[in-house]
Structure 1
Amino acid sequence: MTTVTKTEGAPAGTGPEGFLSVRDLSVRFATEDGVVRAVDGLSFDVERGRTLGIVGESGSGKSVTNLTILGLHNPRTTTIDGEIVLDGKELVTATEKEMEKLRGNKVAMIFQDPLTALSPYYTVGRQIAEPFMKHTGASKKEGWARAVEMLGKVGIPNPAQRAKDYPHQFSGGMRQRAMIAMALVCDPDLLIADEPTTALDVTVQAQILDLLKDLQQEFGSAIVFITHDLGVIADMADDIMVMYAGSAVERGTVDEVLRAPRHPYTWGLLNSMPRLDSDLSAPLAPIPGSPPSLLSPPSGCRFHPRCAFRDRVAGDRCVTERPLLGPDRSSACHLTAEQKRTIFAEEIKPRLG
């Protein structure tokens, strides 16, 4: 039987509540094979004007968390526990009608693939104008003018003309800019970006990241930025939350997590990244094994089957006790604080350079 323990002497919360406050969130899906525990006991906060980067392998629960914030789940097959509070409004218990008023207005999302998120049957301008008209009561003329304005803000050349085009007439980078324009058209307080630069080349990716930072400065939005790329996180985020198998395993500011990571999974992510100054013939160092099935996750620490340091923990605590995240700067690991500092300094940091 697995028991739940707190680590580093702190409660499982994250400190003072932010503009977006998620507390002990659990999301389970009923499938033919059993119940998938997609998110399990997740807590975090995001402040206005700050960006939280959520990083982890595919299947770690990043996207599910943020789709749940938006209420984009099937209520017939999904069970949600915990709290999601946005600017004082509880979202878990909100009705679909209430969520429709919030989506695109107070909270908006930039999806990973704009080609599937944009309708091929309507012009880009119309698709940007419609949410603005719906939430503000603006006329068609006002909505169209707002769409052209937003296309200009995101750097689309000749926006008045390009607003009349269809998504297939835009390049990949331009479609992503159009998605950002659509997300920001109602000046949302919270923007969720789900791997918005994954399919773009490096130059366009840098332009999109700079654009998001500029628009955040202009609108003052809180941003949740989902990615598997720690390099993007380093450039984009103020704070980082590392997720593994549906739970958070480490949290802190960008400098704290990237300069002095405390969890073996974060060490593995950093160690598996290619470096520009490394020997090109040297093999990468992937994390051994695969993420666990969320139908039957491992007991204790969910990372223990892949962890190279579990033998440094006395007894079988890694197998029997599940470590949870403390507030603010913390990691969910049974290694002592001194062990974490020593292992990083002597074994991990020299590999990272």
Structure 2
Amino acid sequence: MDVCQSESEDLLSNDPGLWPAKLMDSDRTGIVRKLANTESKPFPKDSEGKAFPEYLRYTKAANGREKTKRDWLIYSESVNALFCIPCVLFASEVKKPSQSALGGCGYKMCDVKWRRMYNKLPSHENNRAHRDCYLKWKNLQCSINAAKGVDHHIQSQMLSEIEKNVALLTRLLDVTLHLASRNLPFRGKTQTLGDVHNGNYLGTLEFMSHYDPLLKDHLDKVRNNTKGSRLAHYLSSDSQNEFIQLCAKRVLKSILKEREDAIYYSIICDATPDISHAEQNVLLIRYVHYNDNENEWQITERFTEFKQFHKKTGSEIAGMIENMLKELGIDISDCRGQG
């Protein structure tokens, strides 16, 4: 159900006295849904002050033994009258609509005597027009319930698929954290499942899959995907890099929160060329941090990030440090030392 349809159905009432004079198919569907999700109003006392009798709730079959609930009878609080739900909804859809007041303006409670309804209700429900309207009403209820069942099944499938994906991503992130926390390399010479040279990341996942049915099922799908169809498997080097970056952002956020609590800090900066001879500068911040687990103050040094630059002048290094601190949201006025 789309948003517009939902909003239009919210404007409909479960009170027949408030239903539109001219009903569209969408109105009927909305009203039937509304009635299914709300309790009907209890029947009031009649003009003689007598409560609604239990025997009027049911109609007897021809054999006089089987009872069927009169689910079509409804009370309208807004106009204080009794109505027939299917006749009000579908009177315009049948060839010869019922002339009973139950399908029109309703039986006004000021004129109703329950003892007289004993004959009037059976007369109405045995009317051909009422039976035609009742059949249309029941067919609409069945179609709505069938659609609801399909929607529920689809929704259950979607939730199940979401839960599986969340569980799978949790395992992949756990392996990422395991390797990163031990400073182990992720990739090997190949990225092929089953290859002994495919690196620590894929190798660890393959080992875990021996004891984890969800992971085994996922890796089997990747292995059997020989036709090259698009399969989101999250095992590629790009996915690994993305996981690492997400973890790094989370760690950096915690470091910056610790530094903010400590207020004052010192900076340590050093540089070294990498294998391509590009100068890489590393910035560390040093501060006094209260460790809740150890229940003591500790001097803490934290790595923030690498910065690559080509010149080695003091001016460039100073500018680089200022820009890094600004990007990290660290106020340089709180700096109390450098090294």
Q: Which has the higher contact order (CA 8 A, sep 6+)?
A: 1
Structure having the larger proportion of residues in helix? 2
Answer yes or no: same fold by TM over 0.5: no
- Normalising by structure 2, report the TM-score: 0.18
Structure having the larger proportion of residues in strand? 1
Larger radius of gyration: 2
- Normalising by structure 1, report the TM-score: 0.18
